[in-house]
């Protein structure tokens, strides 16, 4: 919570319990003036937000009581009890709502570059298979984050309209519920010029049915160290994609239901039951081989990988005729992603020779990786999964690699520790971010990502395994 919010809440929490005789010793105009000044300062400096509405209501009630010189707990015991319960409930909501849904701060980027962003609308000639309309072609929105030169540009608001509206629709919430995010300050500026020089390119792929650009904490830090990150919004796969004409294309739940159907559920159930009964690694592999190869996640992984290749197809053109012209080093292209996007990063390394290295951030590697040997530098960064969660990636990557392959685990983290969710929702049992500090999880993750790509795209000397000694939260090994 913000400083003036806390001050306001402390005031309205203490005041009702101060004895009437004590209050009478202070002229009421001083108390009323104090609470009015505090309220005005909060509204003008920090700005109002709906989470503070219970606190604002308490301010009005207590202000009226002060003006009328009326004791909040005046009357018989029944009246006092009712008012006491009402007060406790109001105070509970006054503290809990702004705490759970705070106006949060992103970690300050530590690199030497400022950060800018612009959107690119990619129109392909490939048929769109996720709609029933004949003639539909696959279209993507790409958010380009890049090292920038500033000239009085403003920072962009956190999450665009497509991300906000679609996230609200996903959870059945009022569309205006995320307006308070306008109060969140990012470190990304709106359409500044690209900094001088050429920069290596990292393509980022988000998780399925998630906010495509809900990864500011990670991406801002990476870009500040001299990378251009092309953040794909996989149309119909994210919560929503905002196009230049204002249309928002939402997650295609109908297509998802048809493909991720009862047959898929039974396949997963039977395979996992047999997996849990298996007594040797060889038996475990046999029980899940077909599942990893043919489960619906494998189709998603292929489709995401295809989108990544569509972006790479455009890089030469973008390097001559867009705001990124002459700033893309297309000889140094890496890929990383989270969850389903992480699986896509691994798949894309197999599918596209133009990619040099990649990182899967906490994604289950569905698809043909299980029958393949990785031949490029690769890292798997995982959260600390619960023991009841079967680690099928052991089977998916069982063939290993002919190149460098790293296995990293961030202790006490959860699946959303790599997203902005832990900052947005300040309750670990809801945000699925484990018990690790969100900022510590971001720090460890970005250090690992940066040192990996510095080594394999920029040929900078780096001993990745030393990070495990630097951060007790990180278990990092190299798989031979």
Distance CA 422, CA 434 (A): 9
Mean pLDDT of 146-169: 95
Answer whether 305's CB lies under 8 Å from 344's CB. Answer: yes
Distance CA 304, CA 340 (A): 8
In this structure, the chain runs to a length of 480
Distance CA 153, CA 21 (A): 55
pLDDT above 60: residue 62: yes
> What DSSP string runs through 309-326?
HHHHHHHHHHHHHSTTTT
The confidence score (pLDDT) of residue 19 equals 64
85-99, 329-343, 385-399, 464-478, range with greatest mean pLDDT: 329-343
- Partnered with residue 202 across adjacent β-strands are 229, 334
311-339 pLDDT, tens digit per residue, is 999 999 999 999 999 999 999 999 999 99
Answer whether 466's CB lies under 8 Å from 448's CB. Answer: no
| List of long-range contacts for 82-89, beta carbons under 8 Å, 24+ apart | 87/16
Alpha helices in 363-437 (DSSP H): 393-396, 421-424, 428-431
Q: By mean pLDDT, which of 338-342, 407-411, 417-421, 423-427 is the weakest?
A: 423-427
Distance CA 418, CA 214 (A): 10
pLDDT above 80: residue 27: no
**In the 8-state DSSP scheme, what is residue 183?**
G
Q: How much is the mean pLDDT over the chain?
A: 93
What is the CB-side half-sphere exposure of residue 187 using CA atoms within 13 A? 24
Distance CA 222, CA 194 (A): 15
Nearest to 395 by CA among 264, 281, 242: 281
Q: By mean pLDDT, which of 109-123, 179-193, 239-253, 418-432 is the weakest?
A: 418-432
214-250 pLDDT, tens digit per residue, is 999 999 999 999 999 999 999 999 999 999 999 999 9
The three-class DSSP label of residue 334 is strand
User: Domains in the chain, ordered, with CATH?
Assistant: 3-100 (no CATH), 114-479 (3.40.50.1820)
Q: What is the H or E stretch that residue 284 is in? A: helix 281-294
Pairing of strands 199-205, 228-233: parallel
pLDDT above 70: residue 20: no
Q: By mean pLDDT, which of 68-77, 86-95, 417-426 is the weakest?
A: 68-77
Structure tokens at 138: 């696959």
82-121 pLDDT, tens digit per residue, is 878 888 899 999 999 999 999 999 999 999 999 999 999 9
Distance CA 228, CA 202 (A): 6
């Amino acid at each position: 919570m913000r400083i003036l919010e806390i001050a306001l809440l402390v005031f309205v929490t203490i005041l009702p319990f101060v004895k009437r005789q004590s209050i009478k010793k202070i002229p009421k105009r001083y108390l009323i003036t104090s609470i009015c000044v505090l309220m005005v300062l909060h509204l003008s400096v920090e700005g109002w937000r709906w989470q503070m509405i219970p606190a604002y209501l308490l301010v009005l009630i207590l202000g009226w009581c002060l003006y009328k010189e009326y004791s909040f707990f005046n009357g018989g015991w029944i009246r006092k009890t009712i008012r006491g319960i009402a007060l406790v409930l109001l105070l509970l909501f006054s503290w809990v709502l702004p705490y759970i849904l705070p106006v949060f701060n992103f970690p300050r980027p530590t690199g030497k570059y400022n950060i800018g962003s612009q959107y690119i609308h990619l129109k392909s000639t490939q048929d769109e298979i996720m709609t029933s309309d004949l003639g539909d072609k696959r279209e993507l929105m790409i958010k380009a984050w890049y090292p920038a030169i500033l000239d009085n540009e403003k920072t962009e608001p956190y999450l665009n309209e497509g991300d906000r509206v679609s996230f609200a629709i996903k959870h059945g919430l009022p569309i205006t519920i995320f307006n308070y995010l306008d109060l969140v300050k990012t470190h990304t500026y709106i359409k500044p010029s690209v900094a001088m020089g050429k920069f290596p390119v990292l393509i980022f792929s988000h998780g399925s049915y998630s906010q495509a650009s809900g990864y500011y904490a990670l991406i801002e830090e990476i870009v500040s160290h001299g990378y251009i990150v092309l953040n794909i919004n996989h149309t119909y796969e994210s919560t929503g994609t905002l196009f230049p004409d204002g249309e928002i294309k939402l997650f295609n739940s109908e297509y998802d239901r048809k493909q991720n159907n009862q047959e898929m559920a039974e396949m997963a159930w039977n395979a996992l039951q047999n997996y849990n009964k298996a007594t040797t690694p060889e038996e475990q592999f046999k029980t899940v081989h077909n599942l990893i190869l043919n489960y619906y996640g494998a189709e998603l992984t292929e489709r995401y990988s295809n989108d990544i290749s569509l972006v790479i197809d455009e890089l030469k053109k973008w390097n001559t005729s867009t705001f990124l012209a002459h700033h893309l080093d297309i000889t140094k292209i890496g890929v990383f992603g989270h969850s389903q996007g992480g699986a896509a990063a691994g798949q894309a390394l197999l599918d596209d020779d133009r990619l040099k290295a990649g990182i899967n951030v906490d994604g289950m590697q569905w698809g043909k990786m299980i029958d393949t040997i990785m031949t490029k530098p690769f890292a798997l960064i995982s959260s600390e999964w619960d023991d009841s969660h079967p680690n099928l990636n052991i089977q998916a990557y069982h063939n290993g690699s002919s190149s460098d392959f790293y296995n990293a685990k961030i202790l006490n983290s959860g699946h959303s520790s790599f997203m902005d969710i832990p900052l947005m929702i300040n309750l670990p049992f809801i945000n699925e971010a484990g018990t690790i500090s969100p900022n510590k999880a971001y720090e460890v993750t970005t250090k690992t990502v940066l040192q990996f790509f510095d080594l394999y795209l920029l040929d900078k000397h780096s001993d990745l395994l030393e990070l495990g000694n630097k951060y007790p939260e990180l278990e990092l090994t190299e798989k031979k």
